[in-house]
Structure 1
Amino acid sequence: MFTRSHLVNSLYIGIFSGILLGLLMKFIQSVTNVKVYTLLLNVDFIPIFGKVQWPETVEFLFHVLISIVITFVFITLAERLHIQDSLPKLWVLSFLLCLPTFGLYFILSTLAIKEVPVWNDWQAFGYWSIAHLFYVWLLAMLYKKKRSTSLR
């Protein structure tokens, strides 16, 4: 059953972790000129969405909304599996949930219309993977931290 705290935690952790992932990708792009941040926010290949020239802030908001959904699923599974107090199990769950994001690099880079890294740019894939591993780590850590502070 979903409680108010479940929803609040999903929003808090999803927004915070999504923003940090986005900022990390933006930093990586600004330092390396490898367009991983552009790829992260890109929606130009999605029917209807792709026809609109969205400002960066709106594209970033789309990214954060996806992070909130991932976090909601993460918290739901953590509670249903009764692993809320085991950080190693939370990391495994977070990794399994985020595993598709690694393969998504290849799909997004292939479908993109605007200039993004090509599907076989291994440097870009490395940056993408490192940033998403940070997200995997962060999701579990923030959930564990939020849970330990709310139990006091």
Structure 2
Amino acid sequence: MTTKHKIISTLYMGIASGILLGLLLKLVEFVSQIRVYTLLLNVDFIPFIGQIEWSEPIEFLFHVIVSICIAYVFIYLAELLHFKKSLLKLWLLSFILCLPTLGLYFILSVSAIKEVPAWNDWLAFTYWTIAHLIYAWVLPLLYLKTIKKEKY
């Protein structure tokens, strides 16, 4: 992948998958009233950043930036490990990269100042997990789409 194509692919994959994850959790929160979307965007516990009252679009932007970073690492590792043609290996890589987000649920729940689900709210954790597994499933599909476009 050329450098220009890698940058475009990273941005595309990170933005698309990040928006999907955010909208999915926003829908879950709207329907269930369980604040998993609020938890996803929450930065109130981070020194300095948490002291500022950010708008929802800015908090969402922070989330998308993290997603872009994950996409970058995914592309880097997929190419390093020569996984380009194996969807199964790409899914495994994506799952491994996204696995820490499941444990992050507990850290974010305990650290949050805003009202978010409790660390032991298993329904909220289930929603969080399903949404992040969907994210991990979509990331390789977007990657395969970007490497197909490179050929044309």
Pair in the same fold by TM > 0.5: yes
Q: In the aligned structure 2, how far is the partner of 1:2 from the partner of 1:129?
A: 34
Report 1:25-40 matches (<5 A): 25-40=25-40
Per the normalisation by structure 2, the TM-score is 0.97
1:44 CA drift (Å) = 0.1
SS of aligned partner of 2:34 = coil
Unaligned runs of at least 5 residues, structure 2: none
- Residue pair 2:29, 2:35 contacting (<8 A) in 1 also: yes
Q: In the aligned structure 1, how far is the partner of 2:117 from the partner of 2:46?
A: 18
Is 1:116 aligned to 2:112, yes or no? no
Query: 1:151 is matched with which residue?
Result: 151
Query: 2:132 is matched with which residue?
Result: 132
1:148 CA drift (Å) = 1.7
SS of aligned partner of 2:115 = coil
Letter in 2 for 1:112: A
Q: In the aligned structure 2, how far is the partner of 1:106 from the partner of 1:41?
A: 15
Q: In the aligned structure 2, how far is the partner of 1:151 from the partner of 1:137?
A: 23
Is 1:22 aligned to 2:22, yes or no? yes
SS of aligned partner of 1:116 = coil
1:150 CA drift (Å) = 2.1
Percent identity over the alignment is 61
Aligned length: 152
Is 1:75 aligned to 2:75, yes or no? yes
Unaligned runs of at least 5 residues, structure 1: none
Q: 1:2-22: per-residue Cα shift (whole Å, max 9, x none)?
A: 711111100011001100100
1:123 CA drift (Å) = 0.1
CA RMSD of aligned residues (A): 1.1
1:149 CA drift (Å) = 2.6
Query: 1:101 is matched with which residue?
Result: 101
Letter in 2 for 1:105: Y
Query: 1:45 is matched with which residue?
Result: 45
Q: 1:40-66: per-residue Cα shift (whole Å, max 9, x none)?
A: 000000000110000000000000000
Q: In the aligned structure 1, how far is the partner of 2:107 from the partner of 2:59?
A: 18
Query: 2:66 is matched with which residue?
Result: 66
Q: In the aligned structure 1, how far is the partner of 2:130 from the partner of 2:122?
A: 12
- Residue pair 2:5, 2:150 contacting (<8 A) in 1 also: no
1:147 CA drift (Å) = 1.2
Q: 1:92-113: per-residue Cα shift (whole Å, max 9, x none)?
A: 0000001100000000000000
